[in-house]
Amino acid sequence: MPVLATVATSGWVLGPRIRVRVSENGFPSFLPKEVERIRDPAARELAKRIERLPVKVSFTNSPIMSSCVKPSQKRGKEPIVLLHGFDSSCLEWRYTLPLLDDAGLETWAVDILGWGFSDLEMFPPSNVAAKREHLFQLWRLYIQRPMVLVGPSLGAAVAIDFAANHPEEVSKLVLIDASIYAEGTGTMTKLPRALAYAGVFVLKSIPLRFYANTLAFNKVSLGSALDWTNVGRLHCLLPWWEDTTVDFMVSGGYNVSSQIKQIKQKSLIIWGEDDRIIRSTNALRLQKDLQNSVLHQIPECGHIPHVEKPKSVAESILEFLQGDHS
């Protein structure tokens, strides 16, 4: 079934469950207005596909209107579910998701609870257990088949935690420049909340985000770095972002190193050889620790291969899946 069934002259989009107001340029009205400033055509197009689905969880009275990009159509094959990294959104997949779509895969891009563009006005908890339950309930309501779960950076920790707790719902794993050996959020758990809020305020600043971009990518032009900074911090402009991020940071975060050897699913590890955030030596360590895994290293690539080398990432995922079915 197409994601968007009807576009009325009033500007309302009628989906299978909800109605979403769209702007004159086609962006969902729940996105921050600063989305209009983004120049990257791929980011703009993917932003137009973001929608919110109601997800009922045990820790809120009302369903959480949860942001994601749905597949253009269900194709009967095992679905691919793309997560994102720490404090990011599904817009990370602006280059790679269309390639997976074009290859005939049923591809979802899902915002992890606490980040992305979900409606969190009720300020739900954003700790590890809440993120896990939210992803499970979204899977149960809408995906409903064992999935290939793809996690980049901290999203790899989210994926490992989920697969360890819900092994039957995950058919395979793809881990990209995985941040899985860190011991949670460290000293942030002991900070007074006022100091935690001060740190989080800095986290969304343009200078810090721009500097992070220069570290994350092997080669990026000044213009791209500036525009990608706007893409990467767009979700930070939602009114609940600071509260949900502080809640995650003081909760302790992810510590999944003990869960890695529990993973039985066939796994693909993708790593940028020039990653300056998490050294590529960790790729070899993960391959050793993760049974039934294969490693694909991408030359001349930094920490976010699905942005910097989307064709290589898409081809690696396709080869991994095709090899399993050959």
Residues with catalytic function: 153, 275, 303
Are β-strands 293-298 and 50-55 bridged in parallel, bridged antiparallel, or unpaired? unpaired
- Distance between CA atoms of residues 150 and 92, nearest Å: 12
Closest CA to 81 of 53, 105, 114: 105
Helices 206-216, 222-232: axis angle to 10 degrees equals 120
Residue with tokens 């399993």: 324
- The upper half-sphere exposure of residue 197, i.e. CA atoms within 13 Å in the direction of its Cβ, equals 6
**Which residues lie across from 149 on neighbouring strands?**
81, 173
Closest CA to 303 of 219, 185, 182: 219
Collapsing DSSP states into helix, strand and coil, what is residue 291? coil
Tell me how many degrees the CA angle 152-124-232 measures, rounded to the nearest 5.
35
